[in-house]
Amino acid sequence: MLVPASRDISGPDLTPTQIVDYLDRYIIGQKQAKRVVAIALRNRARRARVEGELQDEIIPKNILMIGPTGVGKTEIARRLSTLMSAPFIKVEATKYTEVGYVGRDVESMVRDLVESAVRMVKNRKREAVEAAAEAMAIEIILDAMTHHRPRRRQFPAQEEFAAAEQALDDDSDQISRLRERLRRKISAAEMDGNEIEIEVADSQPKMVEIFSNAGIEEMGVNLQDMLGGLMPSKKRKRKTTVAEAKKILTAAEAEKMIDMDDAAAEAIKLVEQSGIIFIDEIDKIAGREKSGSGPDVSREGVQRDILPIVEGSTVNTKYGPVKTNHVLFIAAGAFSHSKPSDLIPELQGRFPLRVELENLSRDDFKRILTEPKNALIKQYIALMESDGVNLTFTEDGIDEIADAASRVNKQTENIGARRLHTMLEKVLEDISFNAPDVAQGDMKIDKNHVRETLKDIIDDVDLSRYIL
């Protein structure tokens, strides 16, 4: 896992330079887009530090990313989401026009964002109680191993009684010494292989699922949770190893220690102050035809639905109402068949930061193949290595691939860096196929190899449409 240079700086404290530096590790070029995104995020952090009423007056400046397909729009947003510890989701604007989604309101994007924030907060809280939860888990395992269950005092009224009973139990020093010894061994993972029997919560009965349909989702309630709460959770016995039991029980105990109301409140605050919603394919809902053509919902209708959320409104979720006034929206689209001005004016006005992503050049392709942390060529080398093949690319080989990709993009359809994926797959097809059989060996991809594998395809435009 790759982490930002300064791991201890939390998301909101990152400076624009740091954000851009991080993006640079994965995305080639697109300087302007990276800058704008970084500024928008920093502005929000700045806003959080503004005191008093003025804070509410400062509206996040939403971003519209415009650019041809496959040049890094989605990639930038995806990388941002891993970098910032802000709740993030990506939706396709077109999904709200799809037949199956008629009636599925756009507010679900906010609900999904809250869900992701709840997961984040719970993970964080889980980490915080991890040690305590594991200690509890070990006690439960001890109980199971020693068949000696000290009563856990829960109510003050019981205390006297419990104390008396405890005294009896504790009477045998031997037991407590044994427990102590076992406790240490379990903690040190020395008992991991031993088998024990523990009680685990049974999963929810399946019948509840019948009720979960879109209608209920829209109400923002979760029937499963509601009914689940009403039905006592069933326990069942399960044989397992100490190592596994420690894992299961620690998770269960941690769950009990997390206050869900707290977590929900925290998640909502997080969404309201730092949530990011990425709306992809916004260009596909641009255009102002009055009624939907065919079975699709009117595109303008979808824009009108989205508008209040972007402008700021309150959306009910099962965790409580969420204000969207300060959620940051990043919209993106190729706008090849429409223009940003085809969006309804109100929506245009809500995306004041415009940034155009550039077409990728042959040189960009070359860098994309080699430089990013997750560069395609690095991926293939690692893949082949697992089959014992030592794959190398010569400089002129890489040049040739970049060149060919650029050419095919021009001749057929420009799909940006995506072309590199299909290209490489083709160039390496034989090697991929044969790698397990050649066992050990060196494989060099040079200019000739690339030319050889691609020559028949590239020269035939029709063929390259299908294969590359």
Ligand X SMILES: Nc1ncnc2c1ncn2[C@@H]1O[C@H](COP(=O)(O)OP(=O)(O)OP(=O)(O)O)[C@@H](O)[C@H]1O
Binding site for ligand X (CB under 6 A): 27-30, 67, 69-75, 334, 368, 372, 416-418
What's the N-to-C CA distance of the chain in angstroms? 31
Among Mg ion, ligand X, none, the one that 275 touches (CB under a kind-dependent 5 to 8 A) is none
* Closest separation in Å from C-beta 148 to ligand X: 57
Considering only CA atoms, which of 98, 57, 77 is closest in space to residue 329?
A: 77
- CA-nearest of 111, 133, 127 to 264 is 111
Query: Which two tokens mark 197?
Result: 């029997």
Residue 218 binds which entry of ligand X, Mg ion, none, CB below 5-8 Å type-dependent: none
Helix, strand, or coil (residue 357): coil
Which partner, Mg ion, ligand X, none, binds residue 249 by CB below 5 to 8 Å per kind? none
179 binds, among ligand X, Mg ion, none (CB under 5 to 8 A by kind): none
Report the C-alpha gap between 467 and 347 in whole angstroms. Answer: 40
Cα 294 to Cα 104, 262, 298, 327, 346: the distances in Å are 18, 47, 9, 34, 26
Smaller CB separation from ligand X, 299 or 419: 419
Instruction: Choose the contact partner of 334 out of ligand X, Mg ion, none; CB within 5 to 8 A by kind.
Output: ligand X
For 465, left (φ over 0), alpha (ψ -120 to 50), or beta? alpha
Q: Among residues 378 and 451, whose Cβ is nearest to ligand X?
A: 378
Give which of ligand X, Mg ion, none residue 270 binds (C-beta under 5 to 8 Å, depending on kind).
Answer: none
Distance CA(89)–CA(56), nearest Å, equals 23
Are the beta carbons of 415 and 365 closer than 8 angstroms?
A: no
Q: Are 329 and 347 in contact (CB under 8 A)?
A: no
Is 119:87 a contact under the CB 8 Å cutoff? no
Closest approach of Mg ion to the CB of residue 340, in Å: 16
For Mg ion, the nearest residue by Cβ is 74
Least gap, CB of 278 to Mg ion (angstroms): 9
Smaller CB separation from ligand X, 70 or 87: 70
Minimum CB distance to Mg ion, residue 308 (Å):
25
We find the least distance from the C-beta atom of residue 104 to ligand X, in angstroms, to be: 22
Contact partner at residue 220 from ligand X, Mg ion, none, CB < 5 to 8 Å by partner kind = none
Q: How far is the CB of 356 from ligand X (least distance, A)?
A: 12
Which lies closer to ligand X via its Cβ, residue 94 or residue 316?
A: 94
Give the residue with the Cβ less far from ligand X, 75 or 396: 75
DSSP 91-135: EEGGGGGSGGGTT--TTHHHHHHHHHHHHHHHHHHHHHHHHHHHH
Which residues inside 44-73 make contact with Mg ion, applying CB under 5 A?
73
Whichever of 223 and 375 has its CB closer to ligand X, that residue is 375
Placement of tokens 């009636």 in the chain: 103
Q: Which two tokens stand for residue 402?
A: 């970049």
Round to whole Å and give the CA distance between 70 and 421: 11
Instruction: Provide the minimum distance between the beta carbon of 73 and Mg ion in the complex, in angstroms, as a whole number.
Output: 5
CA 126 from centroid of its chain's CA atoms: 18
- Which one, 71 or 458, has the nearer CB to ligand X? 71
Q: Which is nearer to ligand X, 29 or 397 (CB)?
A: 29
Backbone angles phi, psi at 198, to 5 degrees: -125, 165
The partner in contact with residue 75, picked from ligand X, Mg ion, none with C-beta cut-offs of 5 to 8 angstroms by kind, is ligand X
- Strand, helix or coil at 62? coil
- Going by the DSSP 8-state scheme, the letter that residue 297 receives in this structure is P
74 binds Mg ion, rule: CB under 5 A? yes
Gap between the Cα atoms of 84 and 335, Å rounded = 28
- Cα(229)–Cα(237) distance, rounded to whole angstroms? 21
Nearer to Mg ion, 43 or 74 (CB): 74
72 binds, among ligand X, Mg ion, none (CB under 5 to 8 A by kind): ligand X
> CB 218 → ligand X: shortest distance, Å?
28
Shortest spacing between CB 333 and Mg ion, in angstroms = 9
Give the binding site for Mg ion (CB under 5 A).
Answer: 73-74
